[in-house]
Structure 1
Amino acid sequence: MSAFILAAAQYPVEQLASFADYAAKIERWVAEAAAGGAKLAVFPEYGGMELTALDPASVDDLHASIAALGALVEQVDSLHAGLAARYGMHICAASLPVREADGRFRNHARLFAPNGKSGTQRKIVMTRFEREEWDIASGAALTLFDTDLGRIGIAICYDVEFPLLVRALAEAGATLILAPSATDSLHGFHRVRVGARARALENQCYVVQSPVIGEAEWTPSLGTSHGAAGIFGPPDLGFPADGNVAQGELDRPGWVFGEIDPARVERVRREGAVFNHAHWHEQGGSVTLPRVELLDLRS
Structure 2
Amino acid sequence: MQTTINKIDLRNLYLDDFRALRASMVRAYKNYEDFWEEDEIEKLLTIFPEGQLVILADDVVVGAALSIVVNLEDFKTNHTYNEITANSSFTTHNPDGSVLYGIEIFIHPDFRGMRLGRRLYDARKELCETLNLKSIVFAGRIPNYGKVSKECTPKEYIEKVRMRELHDPVLSFQLSNDFHVKRVMKGYLEGDLGSQEYAVLMEWNNIYYEESPKLINARKSVVRLGLIQWQMRPLKDIDALFDQAEFFIDAVSGYESDFALFPELFIAPLMAPYNHLSEGDAIRELAKFTEDIRARFQEFAISYNINIITGSMPFMDEEGKLFNIGYLCKRDGTSEMYTKIHITPNEVSHWGMTGGNKIQTFDTDCGKIGIVICYDVEFPELSRLMADKGMQILFVPFLTDTQNGYTRVRHCAQARAIENECYVAIAGCVGNLPRVNNMDIQYAQAAVFTPSDFTFPTNGVKAEATPNTEMTLIVDVDMDALKELHEFGSVKILKDRRTDLYEIVEKNQNK
* TM-score normalized with structure 2 length: 0.55
Q: Which of 481, 485, 492 is the aligned partner of 1:264?
A: 481
Aligned mates of 2:469, 2:223 — CA distance in 1: 24
Aligned residue type for 2:260: A
Aligned residue type for 1:253: E
Q: What does residue 363 of structure 2 align with? A: 146
Aligned mates of 1:110, 1:97 — CA distance in 2: 11
Q: What does residue 174 of structure 1 align with? A: 391
Alignment of 1:280 with 2:482, yes or no, is no
Q: What does residue 230 of structure 2 align with? A: 11
Greater relative contact order (Cα 8 A, min sep 6): structure 1 or 2? 1
Q: Note if contact 2:275-2:437 (Cα within 8 Å) is conserved in structure 1.
A: no
Q: Which of 10, 13, 22 is the aligned partner of 2:241?
A: 22
Aligned mates of 2:452, 2:509 — CA distance in 1: 27
Task: Determine what percentage of the aligned residue pairs are the same residue.
Answer: 27
Aligned-pair CA distance for 1:106:
0.5
Deviation string 1:13-50 (CA, Å, 9 cap, x unpaired) is: 21101222111111101011112221100001111212
> In the superposition, relative to structure 1, how do residues 60 and 22 fare at CA in structure 2: closer, same or farther (>3 Å)?
same
* TM-score normalized with structure 1 length: 0.93
Aligned mates of 2:509, 2:453 — CA distance in 1: 28
Alignment of 1:121 with 2:338, yes or no, is yes
Aligned-pair CA distance for 1:267:
1.0
> In the superposition, relative to structure 1, how do residues 72 and 102 fare at CA in structure 2: closer, same or farther (>3 Å)?
same
Aligned-pair CA distance for 1:217:
2.7
SS where residue 327 of structure 2 aligns? strand
Q: Note if contact 1:214-1:251 (Cα within 8 Å) is conserved in structure 2.
A: yes
Q: Which of 24, 33, 36 is the aligned partner of 2:255?
A: 36
Q: Which of 400, 425, 435 is the aligned partner of 1:218?
A: 435
Q: Note if contact 2:275-2:436 (Cα within 8 Å) is conserved in structure 1.
A: no
Aligned residue type for 1:207: V
Aligned-pair CA distance for 1:57:
3.8
- Greater share of strand: 1
Aligned-pair CA distance for 1:286:
4.4
Aligned mates of 2:501, 2:276 — CA distance in 1: 50
> In the superposition, relative to structure 1, how do residues 237 and 110 fare at CA in structure 2: closer, same or farther (>3 Å)?
same
Q: What does residue 322 of structure 2 align with? A: 105
Aligned residue type for 1:176: I
Deviation string 1:256-288 (CA, Å, 9 cap, x unpaired) is: 111122211111111111111212345933432
SS where residue 88 of structure 1 aligns? coil
Q: Which of 413, 422, 427 is the aligned partner of 1:196?
A: 413
Aligned-pair CA distance for 1:74:
1.8
Alignment of 1:46 with 2:265, yes or no, is yes
Structure 1 residues not aligned, in runs of 5+: 294-299
Alignment of 1:84 with 2:289, yes or no, is no
Per mean C-alpha deviation after superposition, the further-off stretch among 92-101 and 194-203 is 92-101
Q: What does residue 297 of structure 1 align with? A: none
SS where residue 279 of structure 1 aligns? coil
> In the superposition, relative to structure 1, how do residues 201 and 262 fare at CA in structure 2: closer, same or farther (>3 Å)?
same
Q: Note if contact 2:241-2:267 (Cα within 8 Å) is conserved in structure 1.
A: no
Aligned-pair CA distance for 1:291:
6.3
Q: What does residue 296 of structure 1 align with? A: none
Aligned residue type for 1:127: T
Aligned mates of 2:307, 2:509 — CA distance in 1: 21
> In the superposition, relative to structure 1, how do residues 74 and 218 fare at CA in structure 2: closer, same or farther (>3 Å)?
same
SS where residue 153 of structure 1 aligns? strand
Aligned-pair CA distance for 1:292:
8.7
Considering only aligned residues, what root-mean-square deviation do their CA atoms show, in Å?
1.7
Q: Note if contact 2:260-2:306 (Cα within 8 Å) is conserved in structure 1.
A: yes
Q: Which of 470, 475, 500 is the aligned partner of 1:253?
A: 470
Aligned-pair CA distance for 1:255:
0.7
Equivalences, count: 291
Q: Note if contact 1:165-1:289 (Cα within 8 Å) is conserved in structure 2.
A: no
Q: What does residue 243 of structure 1 align with? A: 460
Q: What does residue 69 of structure 1 align with? A: 286
Per mean C-alpha deviation after superposition, the further-off stretch among 183-192 and 279-288 is 279-288
Aligned mates of 2:401, 2:357 — CA distance in 1: 26
Aligned residue type for 1:208: A
